Amino acid sequence: MSDDSPALSHLEGDGERSRMVDVGQKPVTRRTARARARVRFPAGLLERVLAGDGPKGPIEEVARAAGILAAKRTGELIPMCHPLGLDHVELRFERGPDDALEIVCAVSCEGRTGVEMEAMTGAALAALTVYDMTKALSKGIAIESVELLEKTGGKSGDWKRDG
């Protein structure tokens, strides 16, 4: 790591010990984040899936419930994440280019730490649920990406992915 690189906040001492960051002195502020997961389907298959013609029926509501539950339980799934009382979780499903289903998870709360991991966890688990519900149709279905799109609030300020 170069001298101008920021330190990793979840490591202490010689960098060999993990730690949960103490956020007790940070001010409570409005925090939001949006993340996206992309599930790619073999040509022509997404249309069938979106019509509810998959082996396990309509996928959106089951995947939506899974994503909301995952976002709410992120602190139990990722060891150094703080448990947060989320004010809102929303998942949207959009047909993307080239037979891709894009799942966008938006999360917000009033808190001392950001909600980026909650948004990414919600999108990721919704994508895994889509895969589980459609895998019998093709082994070629792939979860291609999980990425933060934007976040607001906190010490580091607002951030938005280019493009």
User: Which positions are catalytic?
Assistant: 132
Residue 144 CA to residue 96 CA, distance in Å, equals 12
For residue 157, the SS3 value is coil
Token pair, residue 11, equals 């490591």
Query: Beta strands 17-18 and 11-12: pairing type?
Result: antiparallel
By the 8 A CB rule, do 77 and 7 touch? no
